[in-house]
């Protein structure tokens, strides 16, 4: 069976997600074999023929107009971000560009200079694929205390927030609400993959995580799209203990997909004091060493 491609997969996922009772079709057709909308119902709501919508969902229509896609987006009650993603996927299908090996991302000097100014809050500079391009000492101590501070300095060995979250048990343990954290990261990666369909490194990352982690595969199949630029995260840190922190993402003007993530922990005196005790070489991997670090905070 031929794959419908990203556009068809996204439409199918959103169609299955939308219940008829939340549309003008409420009460239409009491006996249903599917949980979400039928194809003919989406076509009716969008004002297109059933055959046209079916071809679109099956990946056979390569040149859908923006007007049709926006009508489908309204029918499926997509958010602004989801609608933008739908348009990105359609444009990617129409593109004649080929995939190539993308150049390694390089942190802009202005972004690094700004990061140097942030000394009293955890901060990190993230690239397009959520690789850590740079971090300050507190940022390192917060999100990857088991890694060395120098980890982002070698492009081929940069920490990947996606790989850490899904494949590293120590990173998973940092987030008491891991399911929420994982869902938001996958939604971002699906959004950015629509904008850069020719990014082979991004495609390889998604493929790797789909193969290695069933949770990632399940979340990816949901088709959720989103970009979380601020909010609150919960942490269960091996040194600082449990706490919450608000965060904001700041896009760089010259590199809009490079974002500085800044955290503001609750109870900052206690938390920041604990984070400052994390050695640049990273925490020891055995429990006894972590206990010694924790005891030193109380002495």
Q: CA–CA separation, 23 vs 29, rounded Å?
A: 13
Question: How confident is the model at residue 94, as a pLDDT?
Answer: 58
Question: How confident is the model at residue 189, as a pLDDT?
Answer: 94
| More confidently predicted of 183 and 254 | 183
pLDDT of 202 > 80? The answer is: yes
Q: What is the pLDDT of residues 148-165, one digit of tens each?
A: 999 999 888 899 999 999
Q: How many residues does the chain have?
A: 299
Question: How confident is the model at residue 100, as a pLDDT?
Answer: 59
Q: How confident is the model at residue 294 (pLDDT cuts 50, 70, 90)?
A: very low
- CA angle, corner 79, sides to 75 and 84, nearest 5? 95
The stretch 97-122 carries a mean pLDDT of: 83
Question: How confident is the model at residue 75, as a pLDDT?
Answer: 93
Q: How confident is the model at residue 298 (pLDDT cuts 50, 70, 90)?
A: very low
Residue 78 has φ and ψ, to the nearest 5°, of -75, 150
The stretch 114-133 carries a mean pLDDT of: 95
- CA neighbor of 78 nearest in space, from 146, 158, 148, 14: 14
The stretch 270-282 carries a mean pLDDT of: 96
Q: What is the pLDDT of residues 206-244, one digit of tens each?
A: 999 999 999 999 999 888 898 888 999 999 999 999 999
Q: CA–CA separation, 211 vs 221, rounded Å?
A: 13
Question: How confident is the model at residue 293, as a pLDDT?
Answer: 42
Question: How confident is the model at residue 91, as a pLDDT?
Answer: 80
Question: How confident is the model at residue 28, as a pLDDT?
Answer: 57
Q: Where are the domains of the chain?
A: 5-94, 109-298
Indicate the range of 63-67, 142-146, 172-176 predicted with least confidence: 63-67
Q: CA–CA separation, 102 vs 274, rounded Å?
A: 39
132-135 β-sheet, strand order: 132-135, 123-126, 259-265, 241-251, 230-237
| More confidently predicted of 110 and 215 | 215
Q: Does 5-94 carry CATH code 3.30.110.30?
A: no
- Residues forming a β-bridge with 250: 260
Question: How confident is the model at residue 90, as a pLDDT?
Answer: 85
Question: How confident is the model at residue 255, as a pLDDT?
Answer: 80
- Other beta carbons less than 10 A from residue 131's beta carbon: 20
- Match 């109380």 to its residue by tokens: 298
Q: CA–CA separation, 158 vs 126, rounded Å?
A: 11
CATH number of 109-298: 3.30.450.180
């Amino acid at each position: 069976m031929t794959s419908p491609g990203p556009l068809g997969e996204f439409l199918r996922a959103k169609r299955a997600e939308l219940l008829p009772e939340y549309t003008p079709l409420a009460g239409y057709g009491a006996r249903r074999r599917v949980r979400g909308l039928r194809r003919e119902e989406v076509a009716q709501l969008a004002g297109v023929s059933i055959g046209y919508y079916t071809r679109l969902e099956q990946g056979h229509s390569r040149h859908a107009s923006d007007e049709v896609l926006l009508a489908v987006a309204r029918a499926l009650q997509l958010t602004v971000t989801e609608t933008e993603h739908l348009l990105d996927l359609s444009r990617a299908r129409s593109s004649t560009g080929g995939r190539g090996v993308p150049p390694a991302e390089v942190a802009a000097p202005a972004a690094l200079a700004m990061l140097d100014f942030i000394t009293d809050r955890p901060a990190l500079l993230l690239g397009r694929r959520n690789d850590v391009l740079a971090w300050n000492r507190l940022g390192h101590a917060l999100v990857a205390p088991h890694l060395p501070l120098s980890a982002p300095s070698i492009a081929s060995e940069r920490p990947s927030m996606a790989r850490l979250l899904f494949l590293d048990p120590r990173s998973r343990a940092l987030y008491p609400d891991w399911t929420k954290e994982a869902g938001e990261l996958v939604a971002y990666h699906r959004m950015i993959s629509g904008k850069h369909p020719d990014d082979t490194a991004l495609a390889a990352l998604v493929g790797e995580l789909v193969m290695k982690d069933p949770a990632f595969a399940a979340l990816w199949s949901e088709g959720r799209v989103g970009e979380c630029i601020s909010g609150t995260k919960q942490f269960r840190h091996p040194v600082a203990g449990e706490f919450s922190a608000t965060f904001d993402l700041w896009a760089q003007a010259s590199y809009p997909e490079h974002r500085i993530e800044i955290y503001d922990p609750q109870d900052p005196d206690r938390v920041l004091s604990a984070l400052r005790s994390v050695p640049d070489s990273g925490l020891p991997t055995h429990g006894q060493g972590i206990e010694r670090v924790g005891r030193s905070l109380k002495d």
